[in-house]
Amino acid sequence: MPYVALLLIGLVAGVAAGMFGIGGGLIIVPALMFVMKARPLDAIGTSLAALIPPVGLLGAVEYYRNGHIKLGWAALIAAGLFAGAFFGARIMISLPEVLVRRIYAIFLLAMSLRMLVTGK
């Protein structure tokens, strides 16, 4: 089950990356904390490790040196990101620009409201 959950986290983050150019901070970190029960620093470090080339190399090295990266988790998330970004890009490219803007705005609003309501 944890392997499937990690792949799904990567897939969702990949689709979001393909659709909105985001994934790590809005998808992976909260998912690792809530679904996988990871500590915040472990979630951040693991997210950076999954996104390393070229986004988070220096930050991931620092988290790794301090023991805050789960390499197996990062690899599975990266696999999901790889496939998910393709599908997310395909979805968004096929939509009218005004719909793309609205979908992204709704996504950001939903994330903001969740953070305001739950305090997390």
50-99 per-position pLDDT tens digit: 886 656 677 788 889 999 999 999 899 889 888 888 888 888 889 898 89
Which amino acid does the sequence have at 52? I
Mean pLDDT in residue range 27-38: 88
Q: Helix H segments across 1-120?
A: 2-20, 29-34, 40-50, 52-55, 57-65, 71-93, 97-118
Reported pTM: 0.64
Q: DSSP letter string over 25-36?
A: IIIIHHHHHHTS
